Structure 1
């Protein structure tokens, strides 16, 4: 994307990278190196497919952690899947989140992501994106935006990567 602003990809962890919610079958687990094991390791980390790292790195964008894992995503997840340290969205304090937004169905992350993007085009990958978020972003964000909902039972799939890559490569 020569001559244009690099797009952002805001990435949630729980749901997109760590699948959950399916009750009919066990989740696949992935082996990791001994340096990534520890007595205090979160057992959910074994659900993260290490192939996500190269696939995310191949997307034409700047990947930014947009998760409640915050800086822990760089410590626990990035090395596990071969990503470098990424920027991290710092969330507002719960007391600073507008209760009216929640009553209206707006996700508590939405305003913060639009503010963080500051007009840059962005994709937001999360399992909790709704039509309310899409409408709000369309009305309040000056740049292009793709709010991509991932099925939390499966996490990011081949189809999700195709959709993201296609959108990220569109001309601004």
Structure 2
């Protein structure tokens, strides 16, 4: 069964926690106007144009999938900025105490997965239940520091899991 490589935006691709004067190397500023965001100022994001190719290479034969609350906007705004093609999207709708885990479990349906995100420790009970339900399946949660975004270390972890 073809494994999944799940990808979040804020944290992994947009190191939002980095200080404004300490933008990580290789990242470029982008400004997006979003419905529901302040009309006076656009949303500032830092994105690394090399991440698209690096993620496609690291994924190998795995299916790369958006696992972000940006949902379909990731394909129209983020993907083009970093050189990713249109990818499948996990739809989360309203998340509660289960955070993203319930939607990911439904989408993955028994497929092995590697997941890049910065928030795995937000809901530890839901995370632990998610992992327990996937016993026997590769379920690698690769935490990305939101101060740095995806680095060579996380890409190496993805390759090691999927290789």
TM-score between both structures, scaled by the size of structure 2: 0.80
Query: In structure 2, how many angstroms separate the alpha carbons of the residues matched to 1:127 and 1:21?
Result: 11
1:13 to 9, 12, 19: 9
Is the Cα contact below 8 Å between 1:137 and 1:145 reproduced in 2?
A: no
1:141 to 134, 142, 161: 134
SS in 1 for 2:115: strand
Q: Which runs of 5 or more residues in structure 2 are unaligned?
A: 35-41
Aligned length: 149
C-alpha distance after superposition, 1:69-125 (max 9, x if no partner): 11110000111111110000011434xx4xxxx3xxxx5101111111000001111
Query: In structure 2, how many angstroms separate the alpha carbons of the residues matched to 1:153 and 1:133?
Result: 24
Partner of 1:50: 49
Larger helix fraction of residues: 1
Cα–Cα, structure 1 residues 133 and 125, in superposed 2: closer, same or farther, change >3 Å?
farther
C-alpha distance after superposition, 1:35-82 (max 9, x if no partner): xx88x485533x100000000111221111111111110000111111
1:162 to 144, 156, 161: 156
Cα–Cα, structure 1 residues 44 and 134, in superposed 2: closer, same or farther, change >3 Å?
same
Query: In structure 2, how many angstroms separate the alpha carbons of the residues matched to 1:85 and 1:24?
Result: 30
TM-score between both structures, scaled by the size of structure 1: 0.77
Range with greater deviation from structure 2 (130-139 or 60-69): 130-139
Partner of 2:85: 84
Larger strand fraction of residues: 2
Is the Cα contact below 8 Å between 1:18 and 1:44 reproduced in 2?
A: no
Partner of 2:109: 118
